[in-house]
Structure 1
């Protein structure tokens, strides 16, 4: 029989060396992984905003997508379902913008005629100035000296042809083109997310649970709920403000009241942006001599916006996220100030994280 050589026991010195080497390898792997992730993020840095917008829209529509996917017409047809949802999102954005551009082109001829008339004859003093309770004479004298005369040689008219205005026009065109490209890539990303369907959400929750435990997965779910509640609150309140202020447009006799109501609804989806639209409309009424209508529109719009922004919107968002009113308000305004338009949705999600961590700490 062949004898097997006896096993050599591990040296006491070799075990600590191997353990130390393993620790260094794990640390090096972690550094390598982090470096590769940061490099990948730097490569796609121009598309992070696109993915974020697509994620916000997908999170907001996820319950509806899941409900429709169970319908017999769409069961198992993920590509068709993703196509329908993506086209609907595109129409909801492109249709109002297209209507606004078409209306602006129709009004461009009249605006050009008015502009030429102002160059030759100036702007007449509005009738409402004479009915002002005080300051009518001073305003009339200033108007006659500065605006009632032909404006062809005025500094303002000359400034309209300056290189600065041309530069601003080119900058606006470049920004509009960039926004269009971002929207196009967002639709493509959104289609891919919709097509992935529940598999994507399940993978994300599984990765969060594996990396951060059950508490991490719950935190991700809370953040998604916060984003969904924020989108719902912004859309519901925006449509409500647009309808209520649009009724005032009809009552005061403003032209294109339906289009103005649509523009106001879109603006009202952003906090405190609706006053810009009804404020300009009130100024137009004031310039036409309708002092009472202008004051009524301004007062009604201010009341609607105050109630919606300070009470309705925070309650809608707070009920879905279980956030206090102050945290909702700080999340929306602070997020918008820090991250821009996208921060309106990121802010409440971060406040939700803060609230969850605080709850876990005090329990």
Structure 2
């Protein structure tokens, strides 16, 4: 009789727990992205916080505040500047297109010298950019109004990005508390994990911090540093919309030979337009940056922390971004690491279940 009563009670207890978790998720839903980013950043930079904490023994608030400031200075501040400059480049492009539609833009002299495609590009430029209102006719609408809408959209995107910046600042605020109370939070999570998963908890939780650090360092920080360096290089060489093109080149660098292809095209354009030295500098320095960042530093950081093949990391990155957005850039590879741990766990369990052979 007691056993029959225990089962409904267990079911009610489980439903009660689920309701609490769902209710908390609903209440925290406006802040989940900030909390998630704060958790990722806190885990990635936890070794740095440990070093700072040793210099301020008995002063957890001071250590947490200094670590948060360092993270803001190294990561968030430059990221905000990069976003603002990218939006500015987009506005410059739409302004150029509106000018071309209003009064026409002459064909550049170097365009006809482009190998294999020079005549085709000149023809298309004359067809759409040299004669006023040609693009308007192509779009079957007033192109000025359409581009005005695009500029309005760019302004709306800027406002959205400013909202994301606010999210980052809120994440920094949460990050301070994660650093201050991180040890206590970790102890509680380990207790809950051990109670719920038993022996399975330790192998999973031991792989999470290195995987997160490898994903942040190898994907976010390397790509961000590469975008900043390439944007500065493009600006020095006189490339149009340098921050937008530099960031785009850093993003598509995950695809093999994509970034060198972009550098080759931009170098060719500079060379044909009479800026041969700038073109050579752009290609040579840009190739050096891409080779070091994408073919040396990134694989070492990622594979050293995740023990995943680089192709599996790419699948995790692209799949995570498609399914979860920008957070999936980090979560995707980490989930694949946990999948590898699961396979290792299953293979060991299968090995132990095998009967010993009798000779």
Q: TM-score with structure 1 length normalisation?
A: 0.75
Shift in alpha-carbon separation, 1:142–1:226, aligned structure 2, 3 A: closer
Pair 1:57 & 2:47 matched: no
Which one is further off, 323-332 or 261-270?
A: 261-270
Contact 1:272 1:309 in 2 (8 A): no
Contact 2:136 2:144 in 1 (8 A): no
Shift of 1:225: 1.6
Shift of 1:215: 2.6
Shift in alpha-carbon separation, 1:106–1:267, aligned structure 2, 3 A: closer
1:172 to 157, 172, 180: 157
User: Matches of 1:45 and 1:248 in 2, distance apart?
Assistant: 41
Alignment RMSD (CA, Å): 4.3
2:198 to 205, 213, 225: 213
Contact 1:225 1:320 in 2 (8 A): yes
Which residue of structure 2 lines up, in the alignment, with residue 122 of structure 1? 104
Contact 2:87 2:158 in 1 (8 A): no
The secondary structure found in structure 2 opposite 1:44 is: helix
User: Matches of 1:270 and 1:188 in 2, distance apart?
Assistant: 32
Which residue of structure 2 lines up, in the alignment, with residue 204 of structure 1? 189
Contact 2:65 2:176 in 1 (8 A): yes
Which residue of structure 2 lines up, in the alignment, with residue 93 of structure 1? 76
Which one is further off, 30-39 or 146-155?
A: 146-155
Deviations 1:293-352 (A, max 9, x none): 658846875786477546652342122222233332322222222212111211222112
Shift in alpha-carbon separation, 1:102–1:229, aligned structure 2, 3 A: closer
1:323 to 308, 325, 337: 308
Pair 1:44 & 2:28 matched: yes
User: Matches of 2:151 and 2:284 in 1, distance apart?
Assistant: 37
Shift in alpha-carbon separation, 1:266–1:230, aligned structure 2, 3 A: farther
Contact 1:282 1:297 in 2 (8 A): yes
Shift in alpha-carbon separation, 1:100–1:281, aligned structure 2, 3 A: farther
Contact 2:90 2:244 in 1 (8 A): no
Pair 1:159 & 2:143 matched: yes
2:51 to 67, 70, 80: 67
Shift in alpha-carbon separation, 1:62–1:266, aligned structure 2, 3 A: farther
Shift of 1:357: 1.6
Task: State which structure, 1 or 2, has the greater radius of gyration over its C-alpha atoms.
Answer: 1
Q: TM-score with structure 2 length normalisation?
A: 0.75
Which residue of structure 2 lines up, in the alignment, with residue 362 of structure 1? 347
The secondary structure found in structure 2 opposite 1:147 is: helix
Deviations 1:120-142 (A, max 9, x none): 64211111123245554454344
Equivalenced residue count is 342
Which one is further off, 283-292 or 31-40?
A: 283-292
User: Matches of 2:177 and 2:283 in 1, distance apart?
Assistant: 44
Which residue of structure 2 lines up, in the alignment, with residue 6 of structure 1? none
